[in-house]
Structure 1
Amino acid sequence: MALLDTILQSTVLSVVSNILAQMIAAYQAKTDLFAFDITPITHFIIYTIINVPINVIWQDLLESTFPSSIVEPPTVEKKGDKKVEVKVKTGKGGLNITNTLAKFALDQTVGAAVNIPLFLAVIGLCKGQSVADIVGTVKEDFMPIYLAGAKLWPAVSLISFAAVPVERRVIFGSVAGVAWNIYLSLKASG
């Protein structure tokens, strides 16, 4: 899947989740469910456009460093005395559990350590906050967001690394992240 397609699909999902968050907030406040504020929608569009390429590179790096499939070594066959033929299995090998767990651990630590501050920084900048205010927000909100995400992202990561082709992982995460983005939208509006 081309990067632009992934960005566009993820952006649409991000917009939908922000609209749903606004509808939830309006319902809770007993106000007009269909009076949307374009500003937070725009903020999420900007965030998604910045975040998706970073996560595509991250997923590609994880997969190239820790391949999901066990790679079968090539076999060598001799035909006659002189000719040597190398055959490589074209089918996929089994799931490499060690590599899958390594990707999972890195994604849940390093990935979170980048994605959460990136989200808070982009939204903060979109709201016109100073760098000092953004740093304060990151310090205050990182752990609560990380702990809330621990209820969703470990399962998404394991499924993604075990069963989703690398070129579809970011969009898979975006689909799974609709509920997460509703949470982030409500958090960012507060």
Structure 2
Amino acid sequence: MKLPPVASSCLLALGIDCISNVIAQRMKAWRDGAPFVFDRVLFLQMAILVTISAPINFYWQNWLERAFPGWKMEKKKRTADTSLDAEEKQVFLKDDGEDKKVVDEEVRVRNWWNIFRKWFTDCITMGALLNTTMFLVVMGILKGKSGGMIWTDVRNEELKIIWDSYKVWPIANFFSTTYCPVERRIVFLSGCGLVWNIYLTLVAARL
């Protein structure tokens, strides 16, 4: 049975994020010079975070694609192939005055202005704010923190995490919004975010 795109994308994202969590725990043990002890609670917390955030990000990416389509149709002219009739070409022919036939046809081209706006909205403004806030709030709830403590984490950590994210996500988001199909964008970003999720796991461990 074929899973819906949102389900398959989120399951793949969950798998990638779980791998990054184990790597992060091993790195933390190595950095601290301590024997590796698998932290099941932290692993479960990060898995729950991804289970909540991945569907939200999936629909967020779909909204971005609808709001800022990455492709547009443009009319271009070319010399007609007279071996085909107009119906086969699905275009209109006209005489150019030199006994040649030229074709007005619509072709799909990248909409770079929309791609820029989609990229800027996702990784520089709303996308960065959405994901960072979601990370801090969900992790705070899972750790049993009060609303005041969660708000303190948001004030103290959010801008730092967003600033650090600019070292990773602008390039990854450019390629995802430009070349990756929207239904596979979450998986692509999760793959690119393997290192980033290691960083988030280390942040979650200290919250």
* Aligned: 1:13 with 2:28: no
Listed as ranges, the matches of 1:81-92 within 5 Å are none
Listed as ranges, the matches of 1:168-183 within 5 Å are 168-183=184-199
Which amino acid in 2 is paired with 1:59?
Answer: Q
Q: Which residue of 2 aligns with 1:142?
A: 158
C-alpha distance in structure 2 between counterparts of 1:182 and 1:104, whole Å: 23
1:69, distance to aligned residue in structure 2 (A):
1.2
Change (3 A) 1:67 1:119: same
Give the total of aligned pairs. 178
C-alpha distance in structure 1 between counterparts of 2:105 and 2:191, whole Å: 36
Which amino acid in 1 is paired with 2:44?
Answer: T
Give unmatched runs, 5+ long, in structure 2. Answer: 76-89, 94-103
Q: Which residue of 2 aligns with 1:186?
A: 202
RMSD over aligned CA atoms reads: 1.8
* More strand per residue: 2
Listed as ranges, the matches of 1:15-54 within 5 Å are 15-33=18-36, 35-54=37-56
Q: Which residue of 2 aligns with 1:118?
A: 134
Q: Which residue of 2 aligns with 1:68?
A: 70
Q: Which residue of 2 aligns with 1:84?
A: none
1:72, distance to aligned residue in structure 2 (A):
3.9
1:130-177 CA-to-partner distances (Å, cap 9, x unmatched) read 111101100110110001000000001101111111111111110011
Q: Specify the SS of the correspondent of 1:94.
A: strand
C-alpha distance in structure 2 between counterparts of 1:120 and 1:71, whole Å: 41
Give unmatched runs, 5+ long, in structure 1. Answer: 79-86
